[in-house]
């Protein structure tokens, strides 16, 4: 027999060789006990056929329980012991559970037990019926318990597999979300710093030599170093298989330094901050910082030299951030954009629970206004 056919046959025993060996031993012991305990002993001409057929039926009882029961019942009427019948009963109940065929087999076994014994009066019939009920119901209940246990284990296994698949999907979603977050951080860092570098390089090209040239060159050097440092922090998360996160992005407290960096490039930035910064969560503070950063970067690219006003304050229970320029200025700088600045800004604000509007200002220029809740719904009275 080929290996594939052997594996197919082992499927009758759950694919386990030990189950097959157990059934072989059980069938041999049951047939030997049935032949030994038979009174009177069957003729020698029937001994070998009964042993062979009964042994084969018990070995395949997991796959064909009704055959095992029928062979055992026929042997019972032929003078054999009832052990094969009880094993067949257990096999039927274990395979089919509390189904109609199981109860039919139980009734047939009970009737066969009573009639095979050959009671002669009513008292013997009643006693046989009582004893037969106990004898027949015992393997039946054990078989039903085995059926329910198998179903329960299958349900638990399916639930565990479902939970594992769901956990894998959640892990993949978390990884995807983290990668999108890192992509937004990289865009903000690179777009802002490189734009400043490009603007400073343009200013350096038209600035005569002297102290001003040295100042502009120093700004380019610092901005380049900062961009490389922040970019390295982001890339470490993507490259290293660790749980370390990059240094947290600046929040509301970093807006002042951001405005100073832009003033160092020669931009006219008017910053309006309250004496005490609003108590915002980390997500809101980082999102507000990135809104100001992206708006200043866009103002420097599209309206260089135009006055820019940055306003941060609290209105009722909301944090309001507004960046506007008054138009004018020089021609737009020849700095290519990624095309994801406003998209990333909206995503950040939405993730922080806020809303953002951007567009032309009524008196000319451009305005970006973002509004964030300072308190979550759970904290609201």
Query: Are the CB atoms for 365 and 325 separated by under 8 Å?
Result: yes
Please say whether the beta carbons of 136 and 114 come within 8 A: no
pLDDT(5) > 60: no
User: What per-residue confidence (pLDDT) applies to 279?
Assistant: 85
**How does residue 377 score in pLDDT terms, banded at 50, 70 and 90?**
very low
pLDDT band at 211 (very low <50, low <70, confident <90, very high): low
Q: For the segment 29-39, what is each residue's pLDDT rounded down to a tens digit? A: 887 777 776 66
pLDDT band at 380 (very low <50, low <70, confident <90, very high): very low
Q: How far apart are CA 21 and CA 13, in angstroms?
A: 10
User: What tokens appear for 181 in the block?
Assistant: 């977050």
Of 342 and 212, the structure prediction assigns the larger pLDDT to 342
Distance CA 87, CA 186 (A): 71
Q: Report whether pLDDT(267) > 60.
A: yes
Higher pLDDT, 241 or 54: 54
Bridge-based pairing of strands 269-272 and 308-315 is parallel
Residue range 156-198, pLDDT digits in tens? 988 998 888 888 888 888 877 777 777 666 666 666 666 667 6
- Per-residue HEC secondary structure of the chain comes to CCHHHHHHHHHHHCCCHHHHHHHHHHHHHHHHHHHHHCCCCCCHHHHHHHHHHHHHHHHCCCCCHHHHHHHHHHHHHCCCCCHHHHHHHHHHHHHHCCCHHHHHHHHHHHHHHHHHHCCCCHHHHHHHHHHHHHHHHHHHHHHHHHHHHHHHHHHHHHHHHHHHHHHHHHHHHHHHHHHHHHHHHHHHHHHHHHHHHHHHHHHHHHCCCCHHHHHHHHHHHHHHHHHHHHHHHHHHHHHCCCCCCCCCCCCHHHHHHHHHHHHHCCCCEEEECCCCCCCCCHHHHHHHHHHHHHHHHHHHHHCCCCCEEEEEEEECCEEEEEEEECCCCCCCCCCCCCCCHHHHHHHHHHHCCCEEEEEECCCCCEEEEEEEECCCCCCCC
Asked if the model's pLDDT at residue 243 lies above 50, the reply is no
For 135, 191, 332, 339, the CA distances from 142, given in Å and listed in that order, are 12, 73, 86, 71
pLDDT higher than 80, residue 341: no
Highest mean pLDDT among 69-78, 199-208, 259-268, 349-358: 349-358
Domains (range + CATH), the chain: 3-118 (no CATH), 176-373 (3.30.565.10)
- Encoded tokens for 138: 């015992």
Dump pLDDT digits (tens) for 63-92: 888 888 888 887 777 667 778 888 888 888
What's the pLDDT at 378?
45
Portion of the chain with pLDDT greater than 70, in percent: 66
Output the average pLDDT for the chain.
76
Provide φ and ψ at 59, rounded to 5°. -65, -35
φ/ψ (deg, to 5) at 313 = -165, 175
Q: Are 286 and 189 in contact (CB under 8 A)?
A: no
Per-residue confidence band for 329, with pLDDT thresholds at 50, 70 and 90: low
- 200 Cβ partners below 8 Å, 6+ apart? 216, 219, 220, 223, 265
Alpha carbon of residue 185 to chain centroid: 25
pLDDT tens digits for range 103-151:
888 888 887 777 766 555 455 666 666 777 778 888 888 888 988 998 8
Q: Which of 294, 125, 92, 329 is nearest to 193 (CA)?
A: 294
CB atoms within 10 A of CB 170: 10
Give the percent of the chain with pLDDT over 90: 5
Highest mean pLDDT among 189-193, 200-204, 265-269: 265-269
**Residue 359 pLDDT exceeds 50:** yes
- Whether 306 shows a pLDDT value over 80: the answer reads yes
For the cut 70, the answer to whether the pLDDT of residue 266 exceeds it is yes
Rg for the chain, CA atoms, rounded: 42
Average pLDDT over residues 333-344: 59
The CB-side HSE value for 381 (13 A sphere, CA atoms) comes to: 1
> So what's the pLDDT on residue 38?
64
Predicted confidence band of residue 370 (pLDDT cuts 50, 70, 90)? very high
Against a cut of 0.75, is the pTM above it? no
d(CA 70, CA 82): 12
Please check the confidence at residue 376 and state whether its pLDDT lies above 60. no
**More reliable by pLDDT, 332 or 126:** 126
| Predicted pLDDT at 124 | 60
pLDDT for the residue numbered 315: 85
Give the mean pLDDT of 327-340.
54
Taking the C-alpha atoms of residue 288 and residue 351, their distance in angstroms, rounded to an integer, is 12
Cα of 246 vs its chain's centroid, Å: 25
């Amino acid at each position: 027999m080929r290996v594939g056919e052997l594996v197919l046959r082992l499927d009758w025993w759950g694919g386990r060789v030990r189950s097959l060996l157990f059934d072989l031993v059980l069938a041999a012991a049951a047939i030997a006990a049935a032949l030994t305990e038979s009174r009177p002993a069957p003729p020698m001409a029937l001994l070998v056929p009964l042993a062979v057929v009964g042994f084969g039926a018990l070995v395949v009882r997991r796959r064909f329980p009704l055959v095992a029961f029928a062979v055992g019942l026929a042997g019972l009427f032929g003078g054999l012991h009832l052990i094969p019948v009880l094993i067949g009963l257990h096999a039927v109940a274990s395979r089919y559970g509390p189904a109609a065929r199981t109860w039919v087999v139980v009734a047939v076994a009970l009737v066969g037990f009573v009639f095979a014994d050959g009671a002669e009066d009513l008292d013997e019939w009643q006693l046989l019926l009582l004893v037969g009920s106990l004898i027949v119901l015992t393997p039946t209940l054990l078989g039903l318990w085995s059926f329910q246990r198998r179903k329960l284990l299958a349900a638990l296994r399916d639930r565990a597999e479902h939970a594992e698949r769901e956990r894998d999907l959640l892990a993949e979603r978390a990884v995807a979300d983290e990668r999108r977050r890192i992509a937004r951080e990289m865009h903000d860092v690179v777009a802002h710093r490189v734009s400043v570098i490009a603007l400073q390089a343009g200013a350096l090209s038209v600035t005569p030599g002297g102290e001003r040239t040295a100042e502009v060159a120093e700004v380019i050097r610092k901005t380049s170093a900062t961009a490389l440092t922040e970019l390295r922090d982001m890339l470490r998360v993507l490259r290293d298989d660790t749980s370390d996160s990059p240094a947290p992005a600046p929040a509301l407290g970093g807006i002042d330094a951001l405005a100073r960096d832009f003033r160092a490039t020669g931009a006219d930035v008017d910053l309006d901050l309250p004496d005490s910064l609003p108590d915002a969560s980390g997500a809101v503070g980082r999102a507000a910082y990135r809104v100001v950063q992206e708006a200043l970067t866009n103002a420097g690219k599209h309206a260089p030299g135009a006055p820019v006003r940055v306003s941060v304050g609290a209105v009722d229970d909301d944090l309001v951030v507004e960046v506007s320029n008054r138009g004018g200025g020089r021609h737009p700088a020849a700095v290519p954009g990624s095309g994801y600045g406003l998209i990333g800004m909206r995503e950040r604000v939405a993730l922080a629970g806020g809303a953002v509007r951007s567009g032309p200002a009524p008196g000319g220029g451009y305005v970006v206004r973002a509004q964030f809740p300072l308190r979550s719904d759970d904290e609201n009275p």
